[in-house]
Structure 1
Amino acid sequence: MIKSVNNQEFKIIAVSNRKLCDRPFLEQIERVCKIHPEAVILREKDLTEEKYGTLAKEVMNICSRYQVSCILHNFWETAIELECTSVHLPLPVLQKLSDEEKNKFIKIGISIHSVEEAKEAEQLGASYLTAGHIYATDCKKGLLPRGLEFLEEVCKEVNIPVYGIGGIKFDEEQWNDMEKCGAVGGCIMSGMMKI
């Protein structure tokens, strides 16, 4: 789903969380793919790498059918094994990857929570960043959101695409605000797992 905001393309990435689904998870992934987000990040943090790999194969097949990019999360070795060229990692994982390992991927996304982390991720070869959390969210109950000022600061300090994450909804006003900060898009978890 690429939404036109201020005559620019505002890209939406779906982030998975099977615990939020009201229906079978793979059925939900198919529903998500039918609206054609920019990508689906398979973020199932509680799974072992083996179980994650099994699920990833199925999700990659669904994404492929709908021509939606599938980005595997954290388990970069599984991504290589499954020939998935897009991966999303925490910064500490990226810090440990060799250039040879990084070169196995076309796209490397990194989660960042400060301007310093954003700069470091870019320097280490990140293709894009998710910066958050921007708005209040149930996923981070009790933690104050970093807000739009933070998002704008990150966008000004790096030369790679930045997506806002945390409390992002199907809300054009919210998308406009993030676009004004310089973000190329936003990541939606809860909303995507309920559509």
Structure 2
Amino acid sequence: MSKVLCITNRSLAGTDFLRQIEKIAAAGPEAVILREKDLSEKEYEELASKVSEICRKRQVPCIYHTYIMTAEKQKAGGIHLPLVQLREVYREAKERFLIIGCSTHSVDEALEAQSLGATYITAGHVFQTDCKKGVPPRGLSYLKEVCSTVSIPVYALGGIDRINASQCLEAGAAGVCMMSPFMKSSNPAELVNGV
């Protein structure tokens, strides 16, 4: 089983986002997290139906992000939420989804997400990344501390590539999340198989 989650970002994928998703799904990541925060819920719903269909054909879970009603309506395999949102909807999330992901940025947040029913968390950002320009990375010692503190799977996030992914696994992460490498790759299978 792959230890790599793909996080989407249409702006990085160029003109043919759905074609890129097809290539990514064919590569077989552990899941695709459809994170398109600039879309309205209606726009997200339209895109999500297409992306989830591509993923379904390849038997890759498509985890929806933020829009819990759309995720339920389209029978998504899971939902990924910021911690501030999980605090508000954790009861309904636990009733509706088998997979509940949560973004965390500290050991305390990781523990809170676990207590609210998250089935996995992302811990970031581990390395320098353009997504967090000017914000110092938290590093591998932070990742190691989170992994040793919670009992649910932790996925390292932020500046992860094929070269440094193994360091995250050695620090105790269950896997890694990649955005830019997947969105820009002409051969996503290299990313999936290289970790």
By the TM > 0.5 criterion, same fold?
A: yes
Contact 1:12 1:185 (C-alpha < 8 Å) held by counterparts: yes
Q: Which residue of 1 is the match for residue 153 of structure 2?
A: 161
Q: Is 2:16 aligned against 1:24? A: yes
String of CA shifts for 1:124-182, please: whole Å, max 9, x gaps.
000000000000011111110011011001001100000000001122xx222111211
* Aligned amino acid, residue 17 of structure 2: F
Q: 2:76 aligns with which of 84, 92, 97?
A: 84
Contact 1:91 1:121 (C-alpha < 8 Å) held by counterparts: yes
Contact 2:90 2:116 (C-alpha < 8 Å) held by counterparts: no
The separation in 1 between residues aligned to 2:162 and 2:49, in whole angstroms, is: 28
Q: Which residue of 2 is the match for residue 70 of structure 1?
A: 62
Q: Which residue of 2 is the match for residue 179 of structure 1?
A: 169
Pick closer, same or farther for the CA change 1:26–1:107 going to 2, 3 Å.
same
Cα offset, 1:99, TM superposition: 2.1
Q: Which residue of 1 is the match for residue 106 of structure 2?
A: 114
Cα offset, 1:15, TM superposition: 0.5
Contact 1:85 1:104 (C-alpha < 8 Å) held by counterparts: no
The separation in 2 between residues aligned to 1:130 and 1:98, in whole angstroms, is: 17
Q: Which residue of 2 is the match for residue 139 of structure 1?
A: 131
Q: Which residue of 1 is the match for residue 6 of structure 2?
A: 14
Q: Is 2:32 aligned against 1:40? A: yes
TM-score (norm 2): 0.92
Q: Identity rate of aligned residues, in percent?
A: 49
Tell me whether 46-55 or 101-110 shows the greater mean CA deviation: 101-110
* Aligned amino acid, residue 146 of structure 2: V
Q: Which residue of 1 is the match for residue 191 of structure 2?
A: none
Pick closer, same or farther for the CA change 1:193–1:120 going to 2, 3 Å.
same
Structure 2, unaligned stretches of length 5 or more?
186-195
2:69 partner SS: helix
CA RMSD between the two structures: 1.1
TM-score (norm 1): 0.92
1:97 partner SS: helix
Structure 1, unaligned stretches of length 5 or more?
3-10
Cα offset, 1:98, TM superposition: 5.0
Q: Is 2:41 aligned against 1:49? A: yes
Contact 2:61 2:77 (C-alpha < 8 Å) held by counterparts: no
- Name the one with the larger helix percent: 2
- Name the one with the larger strand percent: 1
